[in-house]
Amino acid sequence: MRMLRIVLVVLVALLAWLQYRLWFGSGGNHEVAALQEQVEQQVRQNEGLRDRNAALAAEVADLKSGEAAIEERARAELGMIRPGEVFYRVVDRAQPATPAPAVDTEEEAQ
């Protein structure tokens, strides 16, 4: 009977130690959850970078394949025009500034 109690105490102690390691120890649930969050964040970042790389690769291929993309870029970014073309710049009228409200002081009244 005494031997059974010793075995039972040892098994309960072992179970308690294993539960502690599972919940709070190295490689436990908290650490696993933190690592899963890091993996999800990295996957989102990789998707964004993959989309950016695809867009840049398409732009490079477009610039290598023809002159239309180069001409469009030169016109938009550098403001270049072809010989014989006339350049018109359309500027919206700026809203007139509202004058500051007049301040009544005693000096103005005299």
Judge whether 91 lies within some domain: no
50-89 confidence digits (pLDDT tens): 999 999 998 888 878 878 878 888 888 888 888 888 888 7
Taking 70 as the threshold, does the pLDDT of residue 34 lie above it?
yes
Cβ-contact 80, 74 below 8 angstroms: yes
Q: What is the pLDDT of residue 82?
A: 85
For the ranges 14-18, 40-44, 68-72, the lowest mean pLDDT is seen at 68-72
Judge whether 18 lies within some domain: yes
Q: Give the CA count within 13 Å in the CB-facing half-sphere of 91.
A: 5
Domain count of the chain?
Answer: 1
First to last CA, the chain: 114
Judge whether 66 lies within some domain: yes
Instruction: Give the residue numbers spanning the domain of 72.
Output: 8-83
Q: What is the pLDDT of residue 103?
A: 63
Taking 80 as the threshold, does the pLDDT of residue 31 lie above it?
yes
Judge whether 78 lies within some domain: yes
Judge whether 46 lies within some domain: yes
Q: What is the pLDDT of residue 48?
A: 96
Query: Would you place residue 7 in the very low, low, confident or very high pLDDT band (cuts 50, 70, 90)?
Result: very high
Judge whether 106 lies within some domain: no
Judge whether 52 lies within some domain: yes
